[in-house]
Amino acid sequence: MGKIIIDNDRCKSCYICTETCPKKLIKISQKTNRLGDYMVEFSDPDGECIGCAMCAKRCPDMAITEVWR
Amino acid sequence: MSDKNEKVLIKGNYAIAQAAVNAGCQCYFGYPITPQTEIGEYLSSKMPELNRGYVCAESELAAINMVIGAVSTGIKAMTSSSSCAVALMQEALSYACGDELPVVLINVMRAGPGLGYIYPAQGDYNQSVYGGGNGDYKIIVIAPSTVQECIDYTYRAFYMAHKYRNPVILLADGLLGQMMEPACFGQYPYPEIDNSSWALTGAKGRDARAIYSLGAVESKQIERIEHLFRKFDLISKNETDWEEFETEDADIILTAFGSMTRNIKAAMKVLRENGIKAGCFRPITLSPFPQQRIFELASEGKDFAVVEMNMGQMFKDVKYSVNGKSQVELINRPVGEWLKVEEIVSAVEKIMEKSYAASI
Amino acid sequence: MQQVFSIPKSMKKDFKYTFCPGCDHGIAIRLLSEVIDELNIQDKSICATSIGCSVFLYDFINVDCIEAPHGRALAEATGVKRACPDKVVFTYQGDGDFASIGLAESMHAAFRGERVTALMLNNTTYGMTGGQHGPTTMMGQITTTSPMGRNREYYGYPARIAEQLALADGCAYSARVALDSIPHINEAKKAIKKAFQVQLNGIGLGFVEILSTCPTNWKMTPEQAHQRVRTEMAETFPLGVFKDISEVK
């Protein structure tokens, strides 16, 4: 079971991570950030995250600051 | 050149090159252009011999930017060029002023505008003193008149560049570059400057440094420009340099820079013999310009005759400095053969006749 | 649990990228920083920065930087390396800075075999100024200065830079990579590392052309922009290693 930490201040809502996660654990939320964009959030109630870090590697803004496996 | 106190018969270009070596110039980047190509040729064997840096760059544009890279690490570096190719360097000089980098540039002037020709001229006064780059900045400009001064002022150029973190231009001309005169190298007479507070050396044990001229925050950019100009006020106070001869009782002061100084000194002697009270004033630093001293002399009622090989470039700075206190005339030829002593004498005599006639 | 991803040490603390959403500069700079960490060269690296969207590099990485006028980064890098041969010197440029205004400096650094590393982010347009065409704009591509699409008559053909660099004897490594997928990102990092290694081994110039998105100026979403890199761009600018003499001294 893994986890990721998202820094929403860095995130620019490009949503690449939502497409990249093989388990689809990153979703577009209803909350908006300071730029008015819908933020992403990591939601893993069943502990499915495998800590592959593909989301972090494809994030263009270093918004996923930590990945744990 | 084995004994530093030995007098040698040497060409101006070689004198400048060897003086740079003696001053501790660590890297030379250049491109050939007449009448200063010998500087690069000389250094192409000298620098590798001393295990120092040398690149014959692909253009003057590249050469000046290589100097910027090199001096950003704190070492001494220079490039040399002439007139139309110095034109390519204007952007980089503006950057170097904004970056506060100790760039040394040797300009051995030739005739312009454009391609012009390889015979000598003094047409780059404006380009050097006012700069062709963008924005507000000032470059230190120093003009030798003899091969000995080529050596002494090359030493001084490196010292001032590093002391003030400001580009310095040594403004010579084709005559000086090509003539041979006896000169003595001596030792580089200035202390080394500590640059450890700003030089790029790799961020070991400290935060990384960035040297840049980008000013995205308006208030910071205003601060930076005001700092540069306060620095230049200090440079003016410390480094403004000139020489004057027989100005105490002079009615007219012949004024020139660079190698034209030699001719006005000789013309002054002839004029004195002919009963005209002539003096000489020669700015050594063209920037900072000895404005205050010229104003003082003008306030005593002394007229000025500016003698230069261009269409009146230093003339306007003398006129500005005189500020209406006395007359300023121009004796000039655009390019080519240096105004002969007889020509200067005859021109001054005409000026004196005219002003005598006007005063009756 | 074990941490498997973190912000590279040679990046500044608390920086925020100034790039557009979906711009690959952010990934490229992270890979650069990871390589600097892995090769342990942060405290002896000096970067000659460039003009364009990359201009703020010194706000993101914790490495000594000297700003270069537009296109002159490789001339400045040459000056830095000749002054201090023991330092690791690199440039980080866009396609405009490297291949348009700076092409002479870039090619001559390669001809001379300067022992520096050059990274060129190729997004086929001049990004910072709003998306004008440049030397790597593709045939038929619409930009603000090629409103009818690039054509032979007015604009000529796109330049393939990695192949050109490879022809220079002084170039020790030249590769073209992309950042549109995990396998490509992994290959890109290997290439960037190689481009530094040829410098560390004293062989010659190391160059990597990094195909990248420009969603804002292409008027595409980040995903559409990456799709363009995968298809149209990879067709015009094939990925691969065009020169590698890193094993030969």
Contacts of B285 (CB under 8 A, 6+ apart): B140, B141, B142, B143, B239, B240, B241, B242
**pLDDT band, very low/low/confident/very high, at C245 (cuts 50, 70, 90):** very high
C42, C48, C112: residue with CB nearest B203: C42
Kindly tell me if the per-residue pLDDT of B297 is higher than 60. Answer: yes
Share of chain B above pLDDT 90, in %: 95
Q: How far is C124 from chain A (nearest CA, A)?
A: 18
Q: What domains appear along chain B, each with residue ranges and CATH number? A: 7-191+211-239 (3.40.50.970), 243-359 (3.40.50.920)
Predicted confidence at residue B355, as pLDDT, reads 82
CB B163 within 8 A of CB B195: no
Locate the domains of chain C by residue range: 25-244
Residue of A nearest to C17 (CA): A61
Closest residue of C to A19, CA-based?
Answer: C223
Nearest chain A Cα to C15, which residue? Answer: A10
Contact C31, C225 (CB under 8 A): no
A54 SS3 class: helix
Contact B75/C80, CB-based, under 8 Å? Answer: no
- C5 and A57: CB-CB below 8 Å? yes
CA distance B261 to C141: 62
Q: A64 in contact with C at a CB cutoff of 8 Å?
A: yes
For C172-199, write each residue's pLDDT tens digit. Answer: 999 999 999 999 999 999 999 999 999 9
Quote the tokens at residue B186.
């001596």
A60/C23 Cβ within 8 A: yes
Q: What is the pLDDT of residue B343?
A: 98
Three-class DSSP labels, chain B: CCCCCCEEEEEHHHHHHHHHHHCCCCEEEECCCCCCHHHHHHHHHHHHHCCCEEEECCCHHHHHHHHHHHHCCCCCEEEEECHHHHHHHHHHHHHHHHHCCCCEEEEEECECCCCCECCCCCCCHHHHHCCCCCCCCCCEEECCCCHHHHHHHHHHHHHHHHHHCCCEEEEEEHHHHHCEEEEECCCCCCCCCCCCCCCCCCCCCCCCCEECCCCCCHHHHHHHHHHHHHHHHHHHHHHCCEEEECCCCCCEEEECCCCHHHHHHHHHHHHHHCCCCEEEEEECEEECCCHHHHHHHHHCCCEEEEEECCCCCHHHHHHHHHCCCCCEEEEECCCCCCCCHHHHHHHHHHHHHHHHHHHC
What pLDDT, in 10s, does the model give residues A16-64? 999 999 999 999 999 998 778 899 999 999 999 999 999 999 999 999 9
Percent of residues, chain C, with pLDDT higher than 70: 99
Q: Is the pLDDT of residue C249 over 50?
A: no
Return the minimum-mean-pLDDT range out of A36-40, B194-198, C122-126, C167-171: A36-40
Q: CA of C27, closest CA in chain A: separation in Å?
A: 5
Q: Is the pLDDT of residue B4 over 80?
A: no
Nearest CB to A12 within list C4, C7, C21:
C21
Give dist(CA B343, CA B220) in Å, integer.
53
Contact between chains at A61 and C185 (C-beta distance less than 8 A): no
Which of C66, C92, C103 should we substitute to test contact with B (largest number of B Cβ atoms within 10 Å)?
A: C66
Would you call C7 and A16 a contact, using CB atoms and an 8 Å cutoff? no
Distance CA C208, CA C195 (A): 7
CATH superfamily of C25-244: Thiamin diphosphate (ThDP)-binding fold, Pyr/PP domains (3.40.50.970)
Q: CB contact, 8 Å: C190 with chain A?
A: no
Chain A residue numbers touching C19 (CB-CB < 8 A): 60-61
Q: How far are the Cα atoms of B152, B310, C149 from residue B169, in angstroms, in the given order?
A: 14, 19, 47
- The per-residue pLDDT for B120 is 87
Unique residue bearing structure tokens 């004196």: B352
Cα(B297)–Cα(B288) distance, integer angstroms: 18
Whether B116 and B110 have beta carbons less than 8 Å apart is answered as: yes
Residues sharing a CB contact under 8 Å with residue A68, sequence separation 6 or more, in sequence order:
A2, A3, A4, A51, C1, C2, C3, C4
State residue C28's pLDDT score.
Answer: 98
Q: For residue A54, which residues of chain C lie inside 8 Å, CB to CB? A: 182
What's the complex ipTM?
0.95
Report yes or no: C99 and C136 within 8 Å, Cβ to Cβ: yes
Domains of chain A plus CATH, in order, are 3-68 (3.30.70.20)
Q: C67 and C39 in contact (C-beta within 8 Å)?
A: no
Three-state DSSP class for C4? strand
pTM score over 0.80? yes
What separation, in Å, do the N-terminal and C-terminal C-alpha atoms of chain A show?
Answer: 6
pLDDT digits (tens, 9 = 90+) for C1-30: 899 999 999 999 889 999 999 999 999 999
